[in-house]
Amino acid sequence: MGDIVGAGRDEALARLARLRQHQRDGRRSPHKPLLVLLALGRVAATGSSQLPWRDAQTELGNLVAEFGPASKTSRVQSAAYPFTRLRADGIWTLDHDVPMDNIGPLNATHTVGRFAPELEQLLHADPGLIASAARALVESHFPTSIASDVLTAVGLDVDAVLHSPDTVPTPDRSQRKRDPRWRDAVIQAWDRQCAFCGFDGQLFGATVGIDAAHVRWFALDGPDSLDNGLALCTLHHKLFDRGVLGIDTNLRLCVSTVFTARTPAGRAVYDLHDQRLHGRPGTPHPAPAHLEWHRDQVFKGQPLTG
């Protein structure tokens, strides 16, 4: 990483923020960011980023399954990818020289990974850097609706991270600004109601409990346009961004077969399956390309049959 200690927190933040998930044709692969967040959680909890492979294969594998796109790759293999490949980014080391992606040597050598010494030293010298680095990563790779879920899953303090004083955007997105008018325009276009369930709560005439949701995530180059927006209640916004709910090519709702619920309130999500979107005449529907991206990169598993 070079003399990152001498360069200080700004250089460390910039380097971590530049850590990009591998992308091709818009595909998500948040394996490396999730590994870094998991290691930051370990530093916050124990004072060390040390992560034995026997722990990583379970913890990291579960994170990738939960917050990454649906995949046929095993959880153990999904964990091996970033655990071995993050070394190429200069911020991660292994105590054994194992081949890329190879699970056998990881198991045989009881390999342990950790941050590069220079980065670990800087994190110890400046504890606030943990929160700032985590914020930079989570904002660069996930929508705000599930940022707290990701941070909780890796063992970080949600409030401390999301209210950290500074963050550094990735360079290729540094000029990309959100349109402050987009939220109101989307909610108005959908008649101030949830496009999935029709919830339309108001308080003193102001809409409450309704979010403007990106179909293709803003963090993954989704535009602030009406054809990339849905008005959703806060519950269904989170379920949409977590991949529980999706929209098929006929603009009907799908419920993932991975989702389960036991109580009547939870099982009410099943009733959304095959329902059409709630809107009004003239409401612009999401563009097919954005819906396809969501089905491929966010929705979990296969849709329930009718």
SS3 193: coil
- pLDDT score, position 266: 94
- pLDDT score, position 27: 82
Q: In this predicted model, what pLDDT tens digit does every residue of 267-287 receive, in sequence order?
A: 999 999 999 999 899 999 999
Question: Rounded distance, CA 162 to CA 77, Å?
Answer: 31
Question: Rounded distance, CA 197 to CA 232, Å?
Answer: 8
Annotated domain spans of the chain: 4-171, 182-297
What is the value of pTM for the model shown?
Answer: 0.90
Question: Rounded distance, CA 145 to CA 147, Å?
Answer: 6
CB proximity list for 279: less than 8 A, separation 6 or greater: 190, 191, 195, 285
Alpha carbon of 244 to those of 155, 209, 217, 239: distances in Å?
A: 23, 19, 15, 5
Q: What is the average pLDDT value for the chain, to the nearest integer?
A: 90
DSSP state of 225: S
* Mean pLDDT for the stretch of residues 103-109: 95
Question: Rounded distance, CA 300 to CA 303, Å?
Answer: 8
Question: Rounded distance, CA 220 to CA 54, Å?
Answer: 31
Q: Which range (95-104, 162-171, 192-201) has the least confidence?
A: 162-171
As to burial, measured by CB atoms within 10 angstroms (0-12 exposed, 13-18 middle, 19+ buried), residue 177 is: exposed
Q: In this predicted model, what pLDDT tens digit does every residue of 64-97 receive, in sequence order?
A: 999 999 888 999 999 999 999 999 988 999 999 9
- pLDDT score, position 206: 95
Whether pLDDT at 19 is above 60: yes
As to burial, measured by CB atoms within 10 angstroms (0-12 exposed, 13-18 middle, 19+ buried), residue 255 is: buried
- pLDDT score, position 176: 74
- pLDDT score, position 20: 63
Closest CA to 276 of 287, 285, 265, 267: 285
- pLDDT score, position 166: 64
- pLDDT score, position 127: 84
Q: In this predicted model, what pLDDT tens digit does every residue of 27-57 receive, in sequence order?
A: 888 999 999 999 999 999 999 999 999 999 9
- pLDDT score, position 6: 45
- N-terminal to C-terminal alpha carbon distance within the chain: 53
